[in-house]
Amino acid sequence: MDKFVIQGGRKLQGEVRISGSKNAALPLLASSLLCGGWNTYHNIPDLVDIKTIKRLLGNLGAEIEGGETLRVNTDDIKRCEAPYHLVRTMRASVLVLGPLVARMGRARVSLPGGCAIGARPVNLHLKALQDLGAEIDLRDGYIEARASRLRGATIYFDISTVTGTENIMMAATLARGTTVLENAAKEPEVVNLAETLNGMGAKVSGAGTDVIVIEGVDTLHPVETTVIPDRIEAGTYMIASAITGGDVTIRGCRLGHLDALVTKLKEAGISIEPVEDGARVTGGVEIRSVDVKTLPYPGFPTDLQAQVMALMAIGKGVSVITETIFENRFMHVGELMRMGAVVKIEGSRAIVRGVKKLKGAPVMATDLRASASLVLAGLAAEGRTDLLRVYHIDRGYHAIEKKLAALGADISRVKD
Ligand code: EPZ
């Protein structure tokens, strides 16, 4: 297993280019199952999770060519099963469920199981599929779904679920009649998917709002589409500049997808200046402590909660960080405390009392965004930080140590 060795204290300077969004690319690639022929996807990020969904699609019978521009052909679906060994490494594999049932009339997908940040059930995906007329059985840890043809329905999501919205939106494109999704997720990744589906001949409207309407059609055709920039990667690098008191220009990101973070960083005294296709982020002399509450988009993203906590660990004052999306997304707290952070957890709230300096230490990554938080803390800390189990971070950040080193960080990947 690899680890990162970071010598902290360097101010980051220069430009960094943001890759395509992991959480947009995954549903887009799953949607290739909805029609035969060659679909083309531009700006695909080079990530472990992308390798996983390519293996999953290949396992189903898809032909796949290319890299950053990926071409996928699902003319010949050989099987409709997403096996446990693939789904357990990436929960988002559940995104093949809706397209398989819609196009093939059946699917057998392993239940994703929980992960470090929570139980993460998929009950809302299954209930909505049943509302569309699918028969669902749970057997031997697998979801078995069947439907001769899905039929449109009005579906209310008890909780705004991102992949739940995406799964059902895809399934509904081929249903007979109209489907209305209420309390739908509004994330930019949902909009990227809806635009792509419409490019395939689907009739989806309202994406980006909490009511999405899908008029079912009989067949779809291949599309050429582009993955939006990764707003979470962009936010992570913005915080990297802030936490090191640096001066970094983030290129290739959509600032409009990061309003909540930009607002909070400005409150904390960070300068953020829009530039052509990105932003210039300059860390101030001091970082003011601010309160943060994670919410569904356009609220503050839960996927940036751990990263902003690292920043608040050296804030001037006390910051209350409230996590409302997942029940166990404070795994980074214990490790940050080993670096000298002063954090008190009270239920879904973490009270962060800023300290002058963090101290480097050996720390353990537990999940993707917690790992990013520990990298950020290591960049700002005095001395050396060894971050173990960096395979977590490779799932969602392409070559993060190279991008950070290019900005002047002293970080390297070594065999542990
Ligand atoms: C997506 O996960 C993202 N993953 C997550 O990013 C992100 O943290 C999350 O949305 C929230 O923004 C992808 O897009 C691939 P949810 P998802 O369904 O769709 C509960 C990362 O780091 N829920 O919106 O799985 C759920 O437990 C990852 O890139 C149910 O109870 O999240 C959670 O509390 C981590 N039943 C809440 O809803 C369901 O059927 C929101 O989850 C579905 C969800």
**pLDDT tens for each residue of 128-137:** 999 999 999 9
Amino acid present at 177 = G
Q: Could you report the per-residue pLDDT of 355-391, keeping only the tens digit for each?
A: 999 999 999 999 999 999 999 999 999 999 999 999 9
21 lines ligand 1 (CB under 6 A): no
Nearest CA to ligand 1 atom 27: 120
pLDDT for 416: 81
pLDDT for 22: 98
211 lines ligand 1 (CB under 6 A): no
302 lines ligand 1 (CB under 6 A): yes
384 lines ligand 1 (CB under 6 A): no
pLDDT for 341: 98
118 lines ligand 1 (CB under 6 A): yes
Q: Could you report the per-residue pLDDT of 54-77, keeping only the tens digit for each?
A: 999 999 999 999 999 999 999 999
CA of 26 to the centre of ligand 1 (A): 13
Burial 387-415 (b: 16+ CB within 10 A, else e): bbbbebbbbbbbebbebbeebbbebebee
Query: Mean of the pLDDT values across residues 76-86?
Result: 94
Nearest CA to ligand 1 atom 20: 120
pLDDT of residue 113 exceeding 80: no
Q: Ligand 1, closest atom to CA 301?
A: 12
Catalytic positions are 115
Helix, strand and coil percent figures for the chain, each rounded to 5 = 35, 30, 35
pLDDT band of residue 114 (cuts 50, 70, 90) is confident
Query: Mean of the pLDDT values across residues 270-276?
Result: 96
pLDDT of residue 112 exceeding 80: yes
Q: Could you report the per-residue pLDDT of 160-173, keeping only the tens digit for each?
A: 999 999 999 999 99
pLDDT of residue 211 exceeding 90: yes
Q: Which of 304, 325, 332, 368 to mutate to test the pocket of ligand 1 (most atoms within 8 A of CB)?
A: 325
Q: Which of 159, 327, 330 to mutate to test the pocket of ligand 1 (most atoms within 8 A of CB)?
A: 159
pLDDT band of residue 120 (cuts 50, 70, 90) is confident
Q: Could you report the per-residue pLDDT of 244-269, keeping only the tens digit for each?
A: 999 999 999 999 999 999 999 999 99
397 lines ligand 1 (CB under 6 A): no
Query: Mean of the pLDDT values across residues 166-195?
Result: 98
- Cα→Cα distances 97→20, 57, 299, Å: 23, 12, 28
d(CA 57, CA 75): 12
161 lines ligand 1 (CB under 6 A): yes
157 lines ligand 1 (CB under 6 A): no
CA of 39 to the centre of ligand 1 (A): 26
Opening angle at CA 122, ends 116 and 125, nearest 5? 150
Q: Ligand 1, closest atom to CA 325?
A: 34
What is the Cβ-side half-sphere exposure of residue 134, based on CA atoms within 13 angstroms? 31
> 354, 352, 353, 304: which is closest to 326 by C-alpha?
304
pLDDT of residue 284 exceeding 80: no
pLDDT for 118: 86
pLDDT for 356: 97
Nearest CA to ligand 1 atom 44: 161
Residues 343 and 309 sit within 8 Å (Cβ to Cβ): yes
CA of 167 to the centre of ligand 1 (A): 12
The percentage of the chain sitting over the pLDDT mark of 70, rounded to a whole number, equals 100
> 212, 205, 93: which is closest to 142 by C-alpha?
93
Nearest CA to ligand 1 atom 35: 303
pLDDT of residue 117 exceeding 90: no
233 lines ligand 1 (CB under 6 A): no
How does the average pLDDT of the chain come out, rounded?
97
190 lines ligand 1 (CB under 6 A): no
pLDDT for 1: 87
Nearest CA to ligand 1 atom 39: 122
CA of 146 to the centre of ligand 1 (A): 24
